[in-house]
Structure 1
Amino acid sequence: MNKQNPTVNSIGPRVATAMFQMGINGLPRNYELVYEAYSGTNPELTKDFVAIGKIKSQRDLDELGKKYLPHHHEETVVSKTSDRMQAQMSALMGLLEQEKLSLSDYSKVIDAASRSFASAAKDDLETLARSAQVLSQATELQASKSEAMVGVAARQAAELEEMKSHFLKTERMKFVDQQTGLANRRAFIKASSAIYANPERPMLCGLAYAEIDDFKRFGEAGDKGLGDLLIRHVGSLLNAGNKTHEFVIHLDGNRFAFLIKSGNDPEIMRVVDGLRAAAQSKPLFHPKTGNVLGNPTLSIGVAMSAVANKTGQLVAYAESAMFASAKDGGNRTTLYSNTTPAGTDKGWIFHQPK
């Protein structure tokens, strides 16, 4: 297995440079859009981004963002949903008001018929029959109106439920990676920000950073789609192998992360190595030739929340351990330690599973 250069895989500086050269405003939504376009995690986004042309206006970028990164434009989604729901509720209130007026008219008919029954002579069959006929017709008409209103109300209730489902789906999709179906970077930022929310009592957990070994080889095979296929393949295997339902994230490119809620180092390493084994459990086949391209492996670095005091530091430690795994040949897990083990000058412990 070829050793990887840890500096090659970071596209952050490239994104910042590209934004500066293209004159793109340094807004968070612009950064994520350009980041996604350059990382290649969504080929369609990359294609549409290039199609805009050399001069990319903020309007063009926002239109692209609404299509591929709707979470940055959720106010628009919420506003549209709110307007539709308000219109539906207004229509429903109008129906209820109509029903109220209809019932009022029906009540008047009943009252008139009651007075007619009371005042008519017992042997005045014609008057009694006429009043009974009016009451019968009014009752049939009211029943028909009520039935129609129930049908309309049911349809409007179904539309409201559909809008609610669409809104909830949109809300969920903000945190899902389209390429792999795993959690995305936004979900990771949200989850990791909670680790040190209480500095006095940080969440006990382990953060693992992982990269696919020898990923560059697939990009050099003359078919860029192989890299995307490999990422989806690994994502699928990680999802299938996540027996304990840990928080597994596809960050970008060939990089993943695992956030495991436990303060026990051996337990964390056991779970991480289980995911590492899952990632290489099935070979990748070339989609055109059917040739076996090999079983993907991961270089993983783990850092425990107890060794850091903020999220950025924890990420840096996990990333350092991951680079150490890649440097030593890959297909291994490295646990970061903030204390130097006896007889070594390194700041991490190499974990070798049995």
Structure 2
Amino acid sequence: MNKQKTAATSIGLRIATTMYQMGIDGLPRNYELLYEAYSGSNPELTKEFLAIGKKKSQRALDELGKKFLPHHHEETLVSKTNARMQVQMTTFMNLLEQEKSSLSDYGTMIDEASRGFASQTEPDPATLTRSVRKLNQATELQVSKSAALVAVAAQQAAALEDIGSDIANFEKMKFVDPLTGLANRRAFNRAVVRIYATPALPMMCGLAYAEIDDFKRLSELGKSDIGSHFIQHVGKLLHAGNTTHEFVAHLDGNRFAFLIRSAQESEIMRLVDGLRTAVASKPLVHPQKLRVIGNATLSIGVAMSTVANDAGKLLAYAEKAMTASIKGGGNRATLYTNAVPANANKGWIIYQPE
């Protein structure tokens, strides 16, 4: 078992033990909440989790979950959205009724004036003047009411647009890592499943695992929560270096993943090396002391979708390749391939930095 799996197992055991000791129900949403809190990937969540106190009620945990893991509480959003929609539709119906009544009154006034004109063979100027004045007043009133209706309708349209925006943002944030702004593990899992959606014809791509080298030592140099700052730093550099808009995700801790759509190993490794170079391009600076801590480097393992017939094997091969990069000293990318060179005793090729 490599050190990444050992670390994950350690966190998992710690969470299970903590949940038991605190009397927290073994619900999936509780497990993920504690995982996020103890993995250190979201310092704000960790801080608020600890602030709840020793006795953590399910209600308090759910309130925290609604803030940091809203995907577990979709029913709350649906309920709120439904209530808002009902208010908006009721308001619209009332506006339409008002407009209908207003138009009816306006029509009545026109009808009365028309009958008055028709009943007189030679209407006197005074009567005509009064009728014209009444019609002008009625028209001005109707125009005023219509303008008010348009203004209110515009407000209603804006409110409905806000509701739509809230729903869209909610759906988007379900798959975004709050610390880095990259895709999260949930988005990564979904993307990996899609690779083999058609087993006989998998998506042509390369999947890469990446780990920040020497993360523990560099994080401890800054102490406090410099680890989170370090991960954010790497996330920003990956954003900037991802000029071809490949799929890049922050999984947890100091681990990232890339999914690059190409059938060419050389092209995938070129793009992977580009991301690795981007991460090393700017030094990490202590946020308070403003001193340089060091440049980040990545150990990366890549596996092509063509060497595996399911997602499990593909992930395992990428993990194996990343372990080879770590054991090789870090700051390199390893490609796991079934095209083994003659006399080679390993199923991978190391691409070292120039």
TM-score, structure 1 as length reference: 0.92
1:31 is aligned to: 31
| The 10-residue stretch of structure 1 (254-263 or 82-91) with the greater mean CA deviation from structure 2 | 82-91
Matched, 1:82 2:76: no
Instruction: State the distance in 2 between where 1:149 and 1:7 align.
Output: 63
1:201 is aligned to: 201
Distance of aligned partners of 1:22 and 1:198 in 2 relative to their CA distance in 1, 3 Å threshold: farther
2:312 is aligned to: 312
1:50 is aligned to: 50
Instruction: State the distance in 1 between where 2:341 and 2:12 align.
Output: 33
Distance of aligned partners of 1:339 and 1:27 in 2 relative to their CA distance in 1, 3 Å threshold: farther
Write out aligned runs for 1:287-326 (5 A). 287-326=287-326
- 8 Å CA contact 2:22–2:55 kept in 1: the answer is yes
Instruction: State the distance in 2 between where 1:300 and 1:12 align.
Output: 24
1:175 is aligned to: 175
Write out aligned runs for 1:1-354 (5 A). 5-10=3-8, 11-221=11-221, 223-338=223-338, 341-354=341-354
Instruction: State the distance in 2 between where 1:308 and 1:18 align.
Output: 37
| The 10-residue stretch of structure 1 (255-264 or 166-175) with the greater mean CA deviation from structure 2 | 166-175
Shift of 1:148: 1.4
> What is the root-mean-square deviation of aligned Cα atoms in Å?
2.0
- 8 Å CA contact 2:219–2:230 kept in 1: the answer is no
- 8 Å CA contact 1:208–1:258 kept in 2: the answer is yes
Structure 2 residue runs of 5 or longer lacking an equivalent are none
| The 10-residue stretch of structure 1 (147-156 or 214-223) with the greater mean CA deviation from structure 2 | 214-223
- Write out per-residue CA displacement over residues 175-205 of structure 1, whole angstroms, 9 at most, x where no aligned residue: 2211111111121122122111111111111
- 8 Å CA contact 1:247–1:259 kept in 2: the answer is yes
- Write out per-residue CA displacement over residues 295-318 of structure 1, whole angstroms, 9 at most, x where no aligned residue: 111110011111222222221221
Distance of aligned partners of 1:26 and 1:303 in 2 relative to their CA distance in 1, 3 Å threshold: farther
AA matched with 1:307: V
- 8 Å CA contact 1:207–1:303 kept in 2: the answer is yes
Instruction: State the distance in 2 between where 1:306 and 1:350 align.
Output: 19
- 8 Å CA contact 1:116–1:128 kept in 2: the answer is no
- 8 Å CA contact 2:117–2:123 kept in 1: the answer is no
Identity among equivalent pairs (%):
66
| The 10-residue stretch of structure 1 (267-276 or 50-59) with the greater mean CA deviation from structure 2 | 50-59
AA matched with 1:234: V
Shift of 1:8: 4.8
- Write out per-residue CA displacement over residues 313-352 of structure 1, whole angstroms, 9 at most, x where no aligned residue: 2212211211111111110111113465433433333233
| The 10-residue stretch of structure 1 (205-214 or 158-167) with the greater mean CA deviation from structure 2 | 158-167
Instruction: State the distance in 1 between where 2:18 and 2:347 align.
Output: 35
AA matched with 1:159: A
Shift of 1:26: 3.5
- 8 Å CA contact 1:336–1:349 kept in 2: the answer is yes
- 8 Å CA contact 1:300–1:321 kept in 2: the answer is yes
Shift of 1:264: 1.2
Distance of aligned partners of 1:24 and 1:304 in 2 relative to their CA distance in 1, 3 Å threshold: farther
- 8 Å CA contact 1:218–1:224 kept in 2: the answer is no
Shift of 1:220: 2.9
Shift of 1:54: 3.6
- 8 Å CA contact 1:251–1:257 kept in 2: the answer is yes
Greater RCO (Cα-Cα under 8 Å, separation 6 or more): 1
- 8 Å CA contact 1:206–1:304 kept in 2: the answer is yes
AA matched with 2:224: K
SS in 1 for 2:81: helix
Structure 1 residue runs of 5 or longer lacking an equivalent are none
Shift of 1:13: 4.1
Instruction: State the distance in 1 between where 2:166 and 2:152 align.
Output: 21
- 8 Å CA contact 1:284–1:293 kept in 2: the answer is yes
Instruction: State the distance in 2 between where 1:277 and 1:222 align.
Output: 23
Instruction: State the distance in 2 between where 1:292 and 1:141 align.
Output: 71
AA matched with 2:115: R
